[in-house]
Amino acid sequence: MSRLFFREALARAMAEEMARDPRVILMGQDIAEHGGSYAETRGLFERFGPSRVRNTPVAEAVTVGLAAGAAAAGLRPLAFITYLDFLMLGLDPLVNYAAKLRFKSAGQLTAPMVVKATAGAKGQGPTHAQSIEPWLMNVPGLTVLAPSTAGDAYGLLKSALRASGPVVYIDHKRLFPLGGTVPDDEQTIPIGSAALRRDGRHLTIVAHSYMSVVALEAAALLAASGIEAEVVDLRSLWPIDWQTLADSCRRTGHALFVEEGQEVCGVGAELAFGLRERVDGLRVARLGARRAPVSASPVLEAYTIPDAPRVAEAARRLLG
C-alpha cells in the first residue's frame, strides 16, 4: 500500500485505465495543460496528448452531450464537471439520452461514459456546494458512486471507466486535502459494494462521501460515552448494497442515515424505506442539511451541514 493524496489516487486510476483501453478519453474544463481544478489530471495531458485529454468550454450541457455521443459511437469518455451543481446544465443529455439509450435502442446502443463531479460545502456558497446525488439515484439507467477515501476513489473510478452504462462518480471538496492508502498493484472495487468502516453493536450509522468521515468522528464521540456505533460507508448510491446494510441493521436494530444534502427525498429516505422492508423492527432516523440553501457564510454553512456532534446527538435520540 502507498499513501497518496486523493487527487493522486484519481490520476493513477485514470492513467491506468487510459493505458489499458485506448477508448478512454478525458474531457472537461482546465483538465489539459492546467492539470484539473483539483490538480487531479496533472501529467495526463503530457502523457496521453491532446486527442485524449481535451479541454472543453464552460458549457456543461455541451460537455455531457459530447460525451454521451462519443460513448454511443464507441469511446469511453470521462467528462469532468467541476462542481456537481453545474451538472444541472448537463442533465438533459445525461438523463434523457445517455441513461435511456440502452432501453430506447433495445440494447443496440449503450453509453459507457463517466461523469465525474465534485460535490459538497466548503465555502463556495449556494450554487457551487450542493449535494444533489439523490436526484441522480432517481434515474433508471444511471449508476451513482460516491467514495470517501483515496483508495475507494481509485478502485471505483477504475470500475466506472469499465462499466457498460453511464456512471456519475461524485467526490467531495473536503476529501481532497486528505491522504489515503491505495494498493500498489492494480485493483478495482466492485460497483454496488458498501464498506463496513467500524464495528459496533448499538446502532448503524450509514453515510457516503465526506459524511462517512463525519460519521466516524461521531462514532468516536459516541464510544467515549459507551455507545458503540457501526459505520457503513455506502460508496455506491446506485446500485445499493442492501445485503451489507441489512446485515448491519439486523445486528444493531437501529439505523441512522446521515447525508450532507437535503433530507426530503434524500438518500436516507430511500434507504430507511428499503431497510424497513428488509429488517423487522428496525428503528430509523435521518440527519441531513437543514432546509436552506448552502450558505456563503462559513457560520451558516457549518450550522446547516451535519457535523460530528449533531450526528452523535441524533444517534443518542434514536437510541432513546
Partner 1 sequence: MIRKFVIPKELGDSIEVRLLQWCKAEGEMVNADEALLEFETDKAIVLVTASQAGVLRRRFFNDGDWMKPGDVAAWLSDQADEALPAADAVLDDTLLVTFDAT
Q: Site residues (CB under 8 A) for partner 1?
A: 3, 5-7, 38-39, 122, 174, 176-179
Q: How far is the CB of 3 from partner 1 (least distance, A)?
A: 6
Expressed in percent and rounded to 5, the helix, strand and coil fractions of the chain are: 40, 20, 35
Give the number of other CB atoms < 10 A from CB of residue 51: 7
Residue closer to partner 1 (CB basis): 61 or 220: 220
Cell of 62: 455541451
Judge whether 268 and 286 are in contact, CB under 8 Å.
yes
Q: How far is the CB of 183 from partner 1 (least distance, A)?
A: 18
Helix residue ranges per DSSP H, 99-149: 101-104, 133-137
Residue closer to partner 1 (CB basis): 39 or 89: 39
Directed axis angle between helix 242-252 and helix 267-278, to 10°? 70
Among residues 49, 60, 39, which one has the least CA distance to residue 19? 49
What's the DSSP call for residue 93?
A: I
Residue closer to partner 1 (CB basis): 154 or 176: 176
Q: How far is the CB of 170 from partner 1 (least distance, A)?
A: 18
Residue closer to partner 1 (CB basis): 7 or 116: 7
Give the number of other CB atoms < 10 A from CB of residue 204: 31
Give the number of other CB atoms < 10 A from CB of residue 166: 32
Q: How far is the CB of 320 from partner 1 (least distance, A)?
A: 35
Residue closer to partner 1 (CB basis): 181 or 188: 181
Element (H, E) at 273: helix 267-278
Residue closer to partner 1 (CB basis): 45 or 176: 176
Q: How far is the CB of 19 from partner 1 (least distance, A)?
A: 24
Judge whether 229 and 222 are in contact, CB under 8 Å.
yes
- Mapping DSSP to helix (H, G, I), strand (E, B) and coil, where does residue 24 land? strand
Q: How far is the CB of 178 from partner 1 (least distance, A)?
A: 6
The strand pairing partners of 254, in sequence order, are 283
Residues whose CB is less than 8 angstroms from the CB of residue 3 and which lie 6 or more positions away in sequence, other chains included = 179, 180, 181, 182
Residues whose CB is less than 8 angstroms from the CB of residue 194 and which lie 6 or more positions away in sequence, other chains included = 232, 233, 234, 235, 236, 240, 241, 244, 245
Residue closer to partner 1 (CB basis): 176 or 257: 176
Q: How far is the CB of 287 from partner 1 (least distance, A)?
A: 24
Residue closer to partner 1 (CB basis): 80 or 176: 176
Give the number of other CB atoms < 10 A from CB of residue 124: 16
Q: How far is the CB of 282 from partner 1 (least distance, A)?
A: 35
